[in-house]
Amino acid sequence: MSEQDTKAPGKDRRRIRRTVRSICMFAALAILWFGRDSHAPSLIPGLSPFVAVASLLVTRTLHVTACIGLVIGIVVLLRPRWFCRWVCPMGHCADGVSRAGRRLGRHPVKFFPLGQWILWLTLGGAVLLPWPFLLWLDPLAIFSNALTLLAAPSTPATGLALLPALAVLLLSLVWPYIWCSKLCPLGAFQDVLSHLVKCVRSHMHRDKQKHPVPDDASRVTRRAVLGTVVGAQCALGLWLNHVSGGKPARPLRPPGAVDEAAFLGLCVRCGNCIRACPTGIIKPDLGGHGWTSLMSPVLDFSEGYCREDCVACTGVCPSDALRPLPIQEKPDIHLGLPQVDMNICLLGADRECAECRRWCPYGAIRYVFSESEYCLVPQIDAAKCNGCGACENACPTKPKKAIVVAALARE
């Protein structure tokens, strides 16, 4: 058999693999965009066992999306790097750019396994606080977040949403294959699972001399212990900085959001909730609540309000940062509480206005006469109000609103 004949099966296999990966990539794009009105977008970042394990460590609950990620984890236990080689859309893009880099004369470089450190630092933070503060580096979350370009092509958030994906592609162009082999935490997670299988198999043999523990497995174990400890310490430092940083106690989060500290870690900045919101009130945080909140979803009532018949955002979160919320429980949640500035309110200027009461879907606003203001003032019934923002959106005063939904005190 000639050398050309022996190379042919390998070329055919690579061609088949690229075809399958291309199909998976276009399927992911279709699910993220065309399926944004359903729960389907949660499946893309939810395929990651890295996200699934971090979510399980933080929430102590096993939701449906996490089950899918854990199933993928079981598969890669048996077939090392199977997900990277056949499915991952971000990896497919990075490999394509890497091949272009090779044609331009760029060569792979030796680099220490940063992806494993990202993995253990994140899981260490999840175990202690819990705050898996680097979970947003998952490649499926990066791929999903890049779709913000289609949802809001002309906003400042678009550039920030694209930065992680562009960084992955640029690194792959300059140093081919460095993302998948050395930097990706999901790839590192699959390597760890593979090493775990090797360790189990080696310990099943009694003859340690003939079947020693692999050196790479020992190194992974040392990195796991050290990375978990360091990750826990880093997460603790970030959390202490967050709670004492002098920033607003809590930004307005979408319905179903978990405790703020856990939310900041669990949110993978995938953009699913932003694209799913029918009224466009969920925006990425551009740094107004500190860098730890950067690109996480916050509520902005300038274009609409959180409708009483909608819980779309809670069904597309892959990491349980937004927990599923039954529609009948929507009136019982508390996103925030409106605050009224009578220096701006038209009633304070002895003018007629009843817009906030008119548009409140929960009947939580009434007008009472104030002796101190000597006029009618809006009074908010905190027991009825869930902070939906209808009053803020309807308020006619410009440029500032007389009634603004304020974040609740830190839990």
pLDDT (tens digit per residue) in 159-171: 788 889 999 999 9
The mean per-residue pLDDT over the stretch 45-55 comes to 92
CB-based contacts of 252, cutoff 8 Å, min separation 6: 298, 299, 335, 336, 387, 405, 407
Q: Examine the pLDDT at 142 and tell me if it is beyond 90.
A: yes
**pLDDT at res. 99:** 94
Strand partners, 282: 299
Is the pLDDT reported for residue 263 higher than 60? yes
340 strand-pairing partners: 403
Please indicate whether residue 123 or residue 9 has the higher confidence score (pLDDT).
123
- The more confident residue out of 59 and 307 is 307
Q: Can you tell me the mean pLDDT for 317-326?
A: 92
pLDDT value at residue 96: 95
Residue 235 pLDDT exceeds 70: no
Q: What pLDDT is recorded for position 395?
A: 95
Listed by start position, the domains of the chain span 3-243, 336-411
Mean pLDDT of 80-97: 94
Let me know: does 332 contact 339? Beta carbons within 8 Å.
no
More confident residue, 161 or 23: 23
Reported as a pLDDT band with limits 50, 70 and 90, residue 8 is low
Q: Do 301 and 40 contact (CB within 8 A), yes or no?
A: no
Q: pLDDT tens across 346-365, in order?
A: 998 888 899 999 999 999 99
pLDDT confidence band for 1 (50 / 70 / 90) = very low
3-state helix, strand, coil in the chain (%, to 5): 55, 5, 40
Residue-level pLDDT at 411:
45
Q: Does the pLDDT at position 95 exceed 60?
A: yes
More confident residue, 218 or 201: 201
With cut-offs at 50, 70 and 90, classify the pLDDT of residue 205: low
Which residues in 359-371 are b (16+ Cβ under 10 Å) and which e? bbebebbeeeeee
pLDDT at 125 over 90: no
CATH 3.40.47.10 fits 336-411, yes or no: no
Q: Which residue has the higher pLDDT, 29 or 208?
A: 29
Percent of the chain at pLDDT > 70 equals 82
Q: What is the pLDDT of residue 155?
A: 66
| Rg value, the chain, Cα | 25
- Interhelix angle 114-128/49-59, rounded to 10 degrees, is 20
Locate tokens 């992911």: which residue?
28
The arithmetic mean of pLDDT across residues 221-226, rounded, is 56
User: Sign of the C-alpha dihedral, residues 56, 61, 66, 67?
Assistant: positive
Q: How far apart are CA 402 and CA 392, in angstroms?
A: 8
Average pLDDT of the chain is 84
In this prediction, residue 193 carries a pLDDT of 85
pLDDT at 12: 82
The alpha carbon of 255 is separated from its chain's Cα centroid by a whole number of angstroms, namely 15
Q: Does the pLDDT value for residue 371 go beyond 60?
A: yes
